[in-house]
Each structure stands twice: as C-alpha cells, then as structure tokens.
Amino acid sequence: MSYRCEGSIPELEGERVLLRRLAARDAQAMFECWSDPEVRRFADLPDMPDAAAAAELIGLLNSLALTDDSLRWAIQTTDGSVIGSCGLNWWQLEGAYRGEIGCELSRSFWGGGYMREAVGLVIDFALEEMGLNRLEALTDPRNERAGRLFRALGFTLEGRLRQYRHTDQGFVDADMHAMLRQDWEKYRTVKGPKKR
C-alpha cells in the first residue's frame, strides 16, 4: 500500500528538535528566517515583505500536504522556538519512489547541528514510513554549508546541473546530492543508531 499524507503532518521528535506542522502562529518566526538575506542567498523563496507573506506561504505549504504534493515541518527547539523549516518539496511513489528534501534555518542557529538533526528525522521518516528508495537534495554550488550538511548525512554528490534554476540572480547551477535506501542502511550500520 502506498503512503498517503492527505494533509496529516506527523510530529517527529529528536533530542533537541521537534518537527511539527507549520502553523499561523509561526508566521513571525518564519518571516524572520525566510526574509534574512543570508538565508535567502541560496534559497528559492518567494518575496517575503512581511509576516503576512510568511503566513500565506505557511498556508500554501500546508495545503500541498492535502494533495500529497509536499510535506513541510516547522523546526522547533526544546524551548518552543521555531528556528526554520524542512521537509519534502515533492515526492513520487509509483514509478520512482523518490523525493526531494528542502530546508532553511535561521542564521543564529547555523553550525549548531540543528539542521542535521532535523533533516535526519525527515530522512528516517521518508525511507521508513513513506517507503521511498531515493532522496535528493539540490543545492547551489556556492552554498558550501549545505553541501557539507548533506555529505555528513550520507548523501553522495552525483553531479552538477548547469543553469538548473532561474532566480533573481539569473540562471544558476544546482548540485545534485542523493541518498539511496541502501546508502541509508549502510550509513546507519557504520554510524550506529542516530543520536537524536
């Protein structure tokens, strides 16, 4: 039986983060994240002039879960602060069994291991619960931090897609990072159970 989201976005809990459904109350925190020029620098985000625009994007992301087109979680710390978002930008079961991971983190939390833990939870959910076989992450080649994150999680850099996206900077390349179920199983065996 194929995985069906139908709008249900389950909570995923780690040691320092809780992944939960984005809510209207998160608009200000996500506006601060999504409007930060350094966060936006390599992200393909819509214009974000105010918290109302963030609330609109949150509504759109949640509606995409209703049609099984996307799953997006708020990243919440143990003190209840929302510090970013992550999830599957899209997925396909029959014929491919693959999905694409996307993520953004508020700059003040960069380098603290929060995104590694959050994306690790998404990987486990996608492969264990959804039954995906392949996960992909597209990063801007200039975003060395994102490349290091995905390599540290066990992804393989498969190549560069030239002029893959059009942004306000014009056409930009994208690095394709991928993890197969067999890579994940090997990664878990070598690294041991993930500490969350």
Cα–Cα distance measured from residue 190 to residue 106, given in angstroms and rounded to the nearest whole number: 31
Tell me the average pLDDT of the chain: 92
What does the block give as tokens for 147?
Answer: 């490349």
- Which residues share a beta bridge with 76? 18, 82
User: How does pLDDT run across 138-165, given as a tens digit for each residue?
Assistant: 999 999 999 999 999 999 999 999 999 9
Q: What's the chain's Rg over C-alpha atoms? A: 16
**Count of beta carbons in the 10 Å neighbourhood of residue 163:** 10
User: How does pLDDT run across 37-73, given as a tens digit for each residue?
Assistant: 999 999 888 889 999 999 999 999 999 999 989 999 9
Pair 101, 122: CB distance under 8 Å: yes
Cα–Cα distance measured from residue 4 to residue 23, given in angstroms and rounded to the nearest whole number: 21
Closest CA to 176 of 128, 141, 130: 141
Q: How confident is the model at residue 115 (pLDDT cuts 50, 70, 90)?
A: very high
Q: Could you give the dihedral angle defined by the CA atoms of residues 48, 50, 55 and 57, in that order, rounded to the nearest 10 degrees?
A: -10
Q: How confident is the model at residue 191 (pLDDT cuts 50, 70, 90)?
A: low
pTM of the predicted model as reported, rounded to 2 decimal places: 0.93
Max CA-CA distance within the chain? 45
Enumerate domains of the chain plus CATH numbers.
Answer: 12-191 (3.40.630.30)
Q: Name the helix (H) or strand (E) containing 83.
A: strand 82-92
Element counts in the chain: helices (H) and strands (E)? 6, 8
Cα–Cα distance measured from residue 70 to residue 128, given in angstroms and rounded to the nearest whole number: 17
SS3 154: coil
